[in-house]
Every structure is written in structure tokens, then in C-alpha cells.
Chain A
């Protein structure tokens, strides 16, 4: 309960941003942090809570993004419907990938590689068919208006991504306080022992990948409506997959607030390098790589883990209770 109150309080404070931040540039930064937190929290559901490390979350992101874009541009379907369709299709892709991997008991690096392969297949497909605009990409015509899921000002986009992100964080709060979450953590920590206690590991992992896919897909829908342009590399390329996993790894995998901390830290560092080094092509990937190495070496439990270590009351060890 305390955690839920804290979560709502944090999001309430964030919601003040459009009213206190005057500059478009700064508000854009807050939007991008929320968007990164959404991507990261989506990955965190499967990777952090479920222990299934995906290298291919772009598969869900790109599906959400392309769905809303293609439906609008090719079929003239309203993006609000596209939003729902994008979320559902992302769940569908996740279910498909889950079936193809968990059914056959793929774990660890095998799972990671297969998810990467699926994202790459989708990238190549979207690069070769016409209705996605192939390599040229797809441009969503500018038509500001709430009915078109486009907004005159950044405030509208802010609240769109704020809502998606809050939903993702609430879902993860629920995971931490439910049978589903307990089963998921059990499967992550010891799948065999979990099954011995009656946990249906396959079903639990399917649930996690579908929920994860949904929020990645919503991040894709947001991206498409915000930037109004997609190409195969943006939608299904490895950059999104890397960002998805980097955010919770920096912030703290398997923690509720980790992705928010990670997203803020990542953007802070990005902005700082931009200030110091300026715009260099590819610099962000170099930076991501360096950050990943640093985190894995020095802070394997992320910023949330660091915070816990600094502030936690010391837990007594088994030996100290005097029991053998």
C-alpha cells in the first residue's frame, strides 16, 4: 500500500510538469524520460520480474507503431482504433514469440538470441513489403486534433505518454502484490522448484511476455503519433531493444521504480554528453555500451539497488538470530 501511494504521488508530481515547465525543450525531455520509462518497464516485466532476457523488444514496439501508422495512412482508420489494434497486435506478436520459445523450454542466451532474431525478421519484412512504405518509411500526415490522436502542443503528448506509463507502473505494482507476480518471481529464481509447487511456468511466462508486449506496443503507438514518421530501422531496429533493456538494468531490474530512475539517468547522461561532445553520429550507442559495462560491473542491482544499500535498515543474518 505504501508503495502504491508513493507511486501515485510520484506520478502526480510528474503530472505538474506541463504547468510548471515553460520551455518546449524541457517538456520534451520529460516526455522522452516517460517514454523511456515505459519502454523499460515493459521490458522489466519479462526480464526483471520474469528473468527472461529479451534482446528483441523492438518486435512489439515496432508492431504497435506500424499498426497505428499503417491503419491511418493506408486504410484511413482512426488512430484511436489504431491504438487499440496496435496494443492487441503487439500482444499477439508477443504470444507468438512466447509460444515459439517457452513451449520448447528456451532459456537464457537461447531465448535472448531467438527474440533478437524475431525482431530482425520483422525489420526485414517491414523493409520489403509495400504497405509499410518499405525502406522509404511511412509518414503520418500532420492533422492536429484529439480525434486524430495528435496534439497542438506538447502537453497533449505529455498526458498521452504519462497515461501509458502510469498504466505500466500500476501493472508492475500489481505484479509485486499478486499471485501472478509471486509465481513469476518463483519461475525466475528456480523454475524447477516453482513447478514442484504447482506453478505452471509456461503459462506464467506467457502472461509476462504478453503484458510486456502490450506496453512496448503502446510505446510504439506513442512514438508513431509523436514523431509522425517510421521506417524499419526505427521501428524494428536494435536501438529500441537495447534501450528497453538498458533502462531497467541501469535503474534496477525487478524493482517498481527502477525503470523510472534508469530512464531519468539515461537521459541525463545523454544530454550531458550532447552538451560536452556535441552531436556525433552513433555516440548514443557507444554511450549505451559503456553504461551497460559500468552498471554490470559496479552496480548489478541498478540505481534502485544502490539506493536500497544506502538507506536500508540492516537486515539481520540467519546466524545472528542464534538459530542453527
Chain B
């Protein structure tokens, strides 16, 4: 469904993407992991048109979309969320979600009704009339998900929607993500929370210093030497070993 071929991007001396190639198959949850600063968000920005790669190609459903504007790409059915949440402060939760709903709905009434339905799907149904700025971190993350979902996308790119949540909030959001996938929307997610990566995604790509260093099923990827090394050594290796015991 999504294909990235040989993307390179440099910011001055920093090589944020080094010849990145990867694919995201339709109907599944694919994840993207990697240490801080490895170029995950930058890759999402290039896929969704917020940044143009120096070289390489992005295609979505077989169509070359390299260098297209974000709004064009959203209209084609691929939307992203932001790692640093970007609510429309001063607008209510309902109004925030309705902006997404308007992408394929001209009527205000339809968009507001759809916003309401989406809000209850992500667990914001009881906060529709609150100012988005007054939401907690967890609420804002849900709002990011809801706005993207409201555009009726085919593919959603989640950038660390679980970051900053406590374990019980994470447990609440994981089923929401699974439910989105079950409704037929493909998901490509950047995630640091390994519990989520392991339990949600069937396939994962690993970036380190802008480069793809591993790919495969999460369970086998986390055993990969290079991946463990990338995440800085022993501590990580141990934690992964422990988790494998739990999962075995």
C-alpha cells in the first residue's frame, strides 16, 4: 500500500534519512522503531509531504506522491498524527475532530455528527464540548487519533501516540488502535512502547541513524544483535530477554 524507495534527507550535516526503503502492506499494523533521533519522525514528514526528500520516491497505492502537498496526500487517504500534539486550541474537541471530518463531508451538520461518532470511538465521547487546550496529555493524544480517523483514511501514520501515557492509559488506547485496524484502516506506527509494538504490530522496521538496520516480526527483530546494539547495550538486551520469557 505504501512504498518508500531509497529516501535520503540531510539537514546541514545531519543525515536524517539514509537510503531508506520500506513497505507497508494493506490491512495490517506495521511499526517503525528506533532510538531517539534515528529519523523516524523525519521519515513520516517526508512520506506525508511535510518535507521533500533530497532523493528517493514515495508511492501510495502504486501512485508516486513524492513532493506532493500534505493536503493532497490526505485527500488521497493517507494522514499522519503529530508526536508533539497540535490541537486547535480554543476550539472544542468536537470542532477539532470536525476539521478532519470535513475532508470528505461538505455539510457542517454531517461533519459534526461524524465527529461525535469518531469521538466516542476513541473514548472522547464525554469531552466533546471541552476546549481542546484543557485536555490532559492522554486526552490530546486521543484527539490526534480522532482527527486523523475522522478524515476516513485508508492509511494512518501514528507518531508515538502512546508516548507520555501511563501504563493504564496505554492499556486503554491499545484496543482503540486495534479497533481502527479491524475496521479496515492500515496503520503504520512509530512507537517506543515495546509492549504495544509487540502486541499490536505484525511487522516492524528498525531505523538507526537514518538507516534501516532490521525488519521482520517484532519478536525476532528485538533479538537482532544490531537492534540491541542500536538501543545501547546490555540494559535493553536484558529487558528484551525478560519480555521474551513472559511471551513464551
- Please name the residue on chain A nearest to B150 by beta carbon: A197
Segment at the B interface, from A15-23, A133-141, A313-321 = A313-321
Asked if A198 and B151 sit within 8 Å, CB to CB, the answer is yes
Q: Give which listed residue, B79, B95, B108, B129, contacts A198 with CB less than 8 A.
A: B79
Q: Which residues of B contact A183 (CB under 8 A)?
A: 99, 102
Asked if B99 and A199 sit within 8 Å, CB to CB, the answer is yes
Q: Give which listed residue, A179, A315, A316, contacts B102 with CB less than 8 A.
A: A179
Q: Give which listed residue, A177, A186, A316, contacts B99 with CB less than 8 A.
A: A186
A196-B88 CB under 8 A given contacts A316-B130, A324-B136:
no
Asked if B91 and A189 sit within 8 Å, CB to CB, the answer is yes
Q: Give which listed residue, A178, A185, A190, A317, contacts B134 with CB less than 8 A.
A: A317
Q: Which residues of A contact B87 (CB under 8 A)?
A: 190, 193
Q: Which residues of B contact A323 (CB under 8 A)?
A: 126-127, 136, 139
Number of A-B contacts (CB under 8 A): 103
* A interface bracket (residues with beta carbon within 8 Å of B): 20 to 34
Asked if B74 and A185 sit within 8 Å, CB to CB, the answer is no
Q: Which residues of B contact A201 (CB under 8 A)?
A: 71
Asked if B88 and A198 sit within 8 Å, CB to CB, the answer is no
Q: What is the 8 Å Cβ interface bit string for chain B, positions 70-111, against chain A (1 contact, 0 not)?
A: 110011000111100011111100010011101101111001
Q: Give which listed residue, B86, B108, B147, contacts A192 with CB less than 8 A.
A: B86
CB distance from A315 to the nearest CB of B (A): 7
Q: What is the 8 Å Cβ interface bit string for chain A, positions 198-213, against chain B (1 contact, 0 not)?
A: 1111000000000000
Q: Which residues of A contact B135 (CB under 8 A)?
A: 318
Q: Which residues of A contact B148 (CB under 8 A)?
A: 196-197
Q: Give which listed residue, B50, B102, B169, contacts A182 with CB less than 8 A.
A: B102
A–B Cβ pairs within 8 angstroms, 10 of them: A189-B91, A192-B82, A196-B48, A196-B79, A198-B151, A315-B129, A315-B130, A317-B130, A317-B134, A321-B130
Nearest 9 CB-CB pairs, A to B?
Answer: A198-B74, A193-B86, A189-B88, A198-B103, A195-B70, A186-B99, A197-B100, A318-B134, A179-B102
B contacts, CB < 8 Å to A: 48, 50, 69-71, 74-75, 79-82, 86-91, 95, 98-100, 102-103, 105-108, 111, 126-127, 129-131, 134-136, 138-139, 147-148, 150-151, 166, 169
